[in-house]
Amino acid sequence: MKATIAFLSVVTALTAYYVYVPLPSTVSEPWKLMLLDAALRIAQDVSNIAHWMGLGHYQTFLNLAANFLEELGPESTETVKVEDTAFDGVQVRVFEAGKNTNDAELKRGVIYIHGGGWALGSARIRSYDYICKKIADVLNAVVVSVEYRLVPEVYFPEQIHDVLQVAKHFLLLEVLAKYSVDPHRVAISGDSAGGNLAAAVSQQLAQDRSVTTRLKLQALIYPALQALDFNTPSYQQNMDIPILYRSVMARFWLEYLKGDTSFVKPLLVNNHTSFDLHEAAAVRAILNWTSLLPPSFKKGYKPVIQTLGDPRVIQEVPALLDVRAAPLIADNEVLQLLPKTYILTCEHDVLRDDGIMYAKRLEEAGIEVTHDHYEDGFHGCMIFGTWPTYFSVGIRTMNNYINWLSQNL
Ligand SMILES: *[C@@H]1O[C@H](CO)[C@@H](O)[C@H](O)[C@H]1NC(C)=O
Ligand SMILES: *[C@@H]1O[C@H](CO)[C@@H](O)[C@H](O)[C@H]1NC(C)=O
């Protein structure tokens, strides 16, 4: 009896510890989100313990768990042929719509980059496999989902190089011809860290004179676009909102840029971009959210700019100021070269303002932008619009995003 009570108390305490997080009432299906978040945090804690015990890198463990549960082989359907192959040495999963019996009609092309903090996820996991198949099917398109290498196998800028290599290979006229893709109708797209890579590669391609095929569109789903200000209104508002906590995002950045994870604390108070740091002065002006965000998103939050900071952070992790890591700080001249853009943002997401500020800067540079905002959205919701979670906001974001691609590509 005593043992049973003790056992039940431990289970209850653990459940309460893992499951309950206070959530705003406006977020989509709060109870489901709590359960999803608890599952993800248990996986994170187990990976942390494994890392601490010296069994392997934290991110490797997290990925093992996710891929073990979720990885699918390349399974073709009646309408979409799926194949795992390599483009210029980089692994890709290609989804080819097969509806088209009229060979003269060319298809549309989409380069897709999955999310996961530059460290997690795969083109082969169920949710991304599902989304890419759906894009291929609805658009009658060829979708190239990039299996770029992840932290800790490689660090910045290798992830960008992998995606760039795939994009350049796909954009070669003979490769597009092989897949019957119209060179005038190719898009790049990605979510979260994949949105960061899509934005970075889009900027690289736009400036590269050796690439003759231009992208028609870029579509960025709740992208991460800067690591200079961890106190934008959305970072302040959503620091404790699942599934992407502010400290977790800071850690993803540091792991990607090969910085020491002990720098999470100075990053969170913006000690790396303080006033006394002259390297940061120029970017601080570009990234001024008091002029880039509409009042409805500022909600009375105040900028956090330290007078004295911690110069060691930028000295040791100079990539924090690198435009390839932070596409939001690109010069106007570069933004002007970019294709028509779709940006999806979620209210309950630390990265919300990264996306809103990029939309604003692109518009100011004369680019046509569709900004699609979800009041009940949370970070990552689109991939949770699939089996087994089926979040309603996930299904809506996915359908609207694919509709936009269909209408504009
Ligand atoms: C930020 O920098 C200030 C000035 O160097 C220092 O006093 C403070 O402890 C730092 N805070 C963090 C969290 O690193
Ligand atoms: C940001 O913009 C506001 C309003 O335009 C201005 O008052 C402020 O000085 C700017 N801050 C920086 C750091 O440039």
Edge-to-edge strand list for the sheet holding 369-378: 80-87, 90-97, 141-146, 107-113, 181-191, 217-221, 340-348, 369-378
**What is the Cα–Cα distance from 167 to 202, expressed in whole angstroms?**
9
Q: What is residue 99's predicted lDDT score, i.e. its pLDDT? A: 65
Could you confirm whether 322 is annotated as catalytic?
A: no
CA nearest ligand 2 atom 12, residue:
285
pLDDT of residue 45: 85
82 vs 381: CA distance, rounded Å: 25
Q: How far is the CA of 330 from the centre of ligand 2 (A)?
A: 18
Q: Is residue 117 part of a domain?
A: yes
Q: 196: how many CB neighbours lie within 10 A of its CB?
A: 32
The model carries a pTM of 0.94
Ligand at minimal distance from the CA of 306 is 1
284 lines ligand 2 (CB under 6 A): yes
Amino acid at 321: L
Examine the domain organization and report whether 134 and 252 are in the same domain: no
Atom of ligand 1 nearest to the CA of 265: 13
Q: Is residue 211 one of the residues assigned to a domain?
A: yes
Which one of 37, 229, 310, 349 is the catalytic residue? 349
**Residue 375's pLDDT is what?**
97
Decide whether any atom of ligand 2 lies within 6 Å of the 274 Cβ: no
Range of the domain at 375: 68-148+161-226+332-408
**Minimum-distance ligand 2 atom for the alpha carbon of 305:** 13
- Ligand in closest contact with the CA of 288: 2
Are 241 and 280 within one domain? yes
Residues of the chain with pLDDT under 50: none
Q: Residue 32: inside a domain, yes or no?
A: no
The enclosing domain of 84 has a CATH number of 3.40.50.1820
379 is catalytic: yes
293 lines ligand 2 (CB under 6 A): no
Catalytic residue at 192?
Answer: yes
Which pLDDT does position 40 carry in this prediction? 86
Q: Is residue 123 part of a domain?
A: yes
Residue nearest to atom 2 of ligand 2 (CA): 291
- Residues 351 and 36: their CA atoms lie apart, in Å, by 19
Claim to verify: residue 218 and residue 112 sit in the same structural domain: yes
DSSP E strands, 133-172? 141-146
In a domain, 38, yes or no: no
